A and B are shown apart, each in its own frame.
Chain A
């Protein structure tokens, strides 16, 4: 069961444990992590589940898929090289301890 750390814009941290295969957005939402809005429920159509993956794990997490890449151009907070839509990131044991940063705004 990988653990993920969400760093919130106010500086606080939320540690969340979820089964391998769980989508990162789902792990956030079912644990009530503030700032992951996820309006479209994980269908890559709203761009409100944006996160910045911590730089040192970014390669392991990988880059966005095509639809996601398009949506990332339209997030409320600026897009960065490590930007992902959390609904498109699947957790695995290899990602245990992953740190992601929640942006200031999603809408």
Chain B
């Protein structure tokens, strides 16, 4: 099925400026939900599906809304991989890779090391009294954790974070910038080498990691498949937990009364995680391609149509979440869409929940006494001395500058 790169007959065409979307996509999404819940957006080259119910509906029909989108930027960046496959190939790869990311494995195999790494990073900055919590803490933490879970023993946190950044830039290179493609290719080449070495080692000596699990899978997985899937995991595995960490810390530092409540009631970190992921989803949208003609949101899309499921918009749908633009820990429980749905439900969900809500957030507030945003930040700022929120395909604070009472730090 070749992809259709034009609007479906009758679909409203809405021009959206990518730079505006990066700055703040939410006003545009609100307008789309109200006036054109399925709209062709030329700058994105897809129909944007923006209402909660329609997105959930599409997620539950993987045989119609196929993950095999041809010509996707992700395929160009990393090659064929499980995110862009449907079952049974998707299932085979996912089953091979998944066991080390299940919650009990996270708790029993990885949590201790995650915590040690977090303490080491905090040891380095505790006396300084100021830091960028993204660059100095969250990114190196999640990158080191990811190297461990994947089984990339020779890769440093900097390697992983750098590779992730280069691939993510490729994956959202809608402007087709050649420099971005070049950097992405260098990163994927380096990952292929590192994975080949790790797979060789794991073949001799299994170590419970994702690479090891794929090497020893019941249904055989080829080295190229391991390499490509590790690339995809490095892409998401760094920026998603890093961004949830950043957004949640940002939200709490801007709301001292909420923060006090959370600190008094540590079980609520879980709620903080889920509400943060709803409020600003680290992945804003993902593509699907129709395998057959299908009617959704009042329009019939022809087979081959390209659709973006805009989960960032679904998570702000007022018909599901009252005062959806607000960060509110007490809102009635409704499932958010941040992890995606159906067979592609985020494989890193349990790793991210643990490293962010059980380790990273509680530790920074425990060890960095008097933690607050750097001067100049106010509750509504998305662009201030404390940092800037950026992105629409992926979204989070690019920096989070904070200060604390260094003398009292543990």
Contacts and interface: CB of A to CB of B under 8 A. Distances in A.
Interface of A: 29, 37, 39-41, 43, 45-48, 67, 70-71, 73-74, 105-107
Contact of B104 (A41, A46, A73): A73
B98 A45 contact: yes
B345 interface: yes
B343 interface: yes
B351 to A, nearest CB: 12
Interface in B337-358: 339, 341-343, 345, 347, 349-350
Interface string B95-108: 00010001110000
A67 B339 CA distance: 20
Nearest 10 CB-CB pairs, A to B?
A: A40-B345, A41-B342, A74-B103, A70-B104, A37-B335, A105-B333, A107-B335, A39-B341, A46-B345, A39-B345
A1 B300 CA distance: 34
Contact of B350 (A37, A74, A107): A74
Given A39-B335, A73-B103, A105-B333, A45 B345 contact: yes
A41 B343 contact: yes
Contact of A41 (B60, B102, B350): B60
Contacts of A74: 103-104, 350
A70 B343 contact: no
A107 B345 contact: no
Number of chain B interface residues as a range: 20 to 34
Contacts, number: 48
A41 B341 contact: yes
25 contacts: A39-B339, A39-B341, A39-B345, A40-B341, A40-B342, A40-B345, A41-B60, A41-B62, A43-B343, A45-B98, A45-B102, A45-B345, A45-B347, A46-B349, A48-B335, A67-B102, A70-B103, A70-B104, A71-B102, A71-B103, A73-B103, A73-B104, A74-B103, A106-B335, A107-B333
B336 interface: yes
B135 to A, nearest CB: 31
Contacts of A48: 335
Contact of B343 (A29, A40, A47, A71): A40
Interface in B58-85: 59-60, 62
A67 B350 CA distance: 14
Nearest to A69: B104
Contacts of B335: 37, 39, 48, 106-107
A43 B97 CA distance: 14
Nearest to B95: A43
B274 interface: yes
A46 B345 CA distance: 7
A29 B60 contact: yes
